[in-house]
Amino acid sequence: MKTILLIAADGVRALIHQRLLVGLMLASLAVTVAFSVFLSNARTHASVSLSGDRVASGAPQSNEPMSESDQRRLREQTQGMSSMFQAAFYVVTSFGGSMVALFIFSTAVAAEIRSGTIRLTLSKPVSRTQFLLGKYLGGAAIMVAYALIASLAIFVFSKSQGLDLSPAIKWAPWLMFCQQLMLGSLALLLSLFVHPIIACVLAFFAGNGFYSPPNPLYFILPSYSDFGMFSEVLQGAQVDWKDVVFLSLYAFDFVAIMLLLSMWRFRTKELL
């Protein structure tokens, strides 16, 4: 276990020195900030437009309290904006996270093979299984950090805008993380057969969104779409914790199978 942790720590160190990865994360953050600014402006515009409506309808402009219907309208509009803001935030961070995961896991082992650094590492008492698991763990640690930053950001932005958190948003980062682990494990496996870029494309489009039961491909291909929380966040719907547990188990089962297949492939791979 100590060896796996050492390889994982080295993996994290390697990843935080990757300019492309840092660029992807910064781009994802920048898009998120841009969305929040846009939605904040839209919300202000909605309030102003509501005030304008009130003036047009002859309502007094003084400090008199709003009527109950105006208050309800403003609340509905604000809640709608809040859900839209959170859903948009979720989509951006989820997509950005998927890109980061694809990059991290598809290059984790392949880049070491290409650069030749793997030869020195494997000349030490490190088995190929330990190396592979360490690399996966290092990538997963980066994805944990990403999910935590995303959760914190969505909380801070929502609170700063005075918005209520959608009930589904509390599960969204976790499910996003599970989905990215699945995506990453498939990208890692494929990168042991093909070029990392091809592995990324195949892993991204391998989801079973095109198939439905009883098509056997539905049961073989990963179900990324089931982890998507966009509509739940947008509609402010509740998410059953049992569904979250089921999806988590499915994700870990899928990751375990992908890792086993990766180990099988990696054990016999020629490291030229």
Partner 1 sequence: MSAIRIENLSKIYRAAWGRRDTFAVKALSLEVKQGEVFGLLGPNGAGKTSTIHLLLNLIRPTTGAAFLFDRPVTETEVHRRLGYLPESVNLHTYYKGRALLNFYAALCGVPVSQRESRISAVLKLLELEDAADKQVAKYSKGMAQRIGVAQALLHDPDLLILDEPTASLDPVARHQFRGLLLELKGRGKTILISSHILSEVEAVCHRVAILESGALKRVGTLQELSAGGSTRLVVKETSGTLMEALAATAAEVTWFQGQVTIRCQDETVRRSVEALLREHKVEIARVESEAQSLDEIFFSTIKGDPAT
Interface with partner 1 by CB under 8 A: which residues?
3, 6, 10, 13-14, 17, 115-117, 119-127, 130, 268, 270-272
- Would you state the structure tokens that stand for residue 136, as one six-digit string? 């996966």
Q: Which is nearer to partner 1, 13 or 45 (CB)?
A: 13
The CB-of-98 to partner 1 minimum distance in angstroms stands at: 25
The CB-of-144 to partner 1 minimum distance in angstroms stands at: 21
Q: Which is nearer to partner 1, 16 or 220 (CB)?
A: 16
Output the CA torsion sign for 200, 98, 105, 208: negative
DSSP letter (8 states) at residue 130:
H
The CB-of-97 to partner 1 minimum distance in angstroms stands at: 23
Q: Which is nearer to partner 1, 19 or 242 (CB)?
A: 19
Measured CA to CA in angstroms, residue 218 lies from 22, 212, 238, 257 at distances of 34, 6, 26, 16
Q: Which is nearer to partner 1, 7 or 181 (CB)?
A: 7
Nearest to 171 by CA among 92, 247, 80: 247
The CB-of-109 to partner 1 minimum distance in angstroms stands at: 14
Q: What are phi and psi of 130, to 5 degrees?
A: -60, -40
Q: How many CA atoms does the CB half-sphere of 247 hold within 13 Å?
A: 23
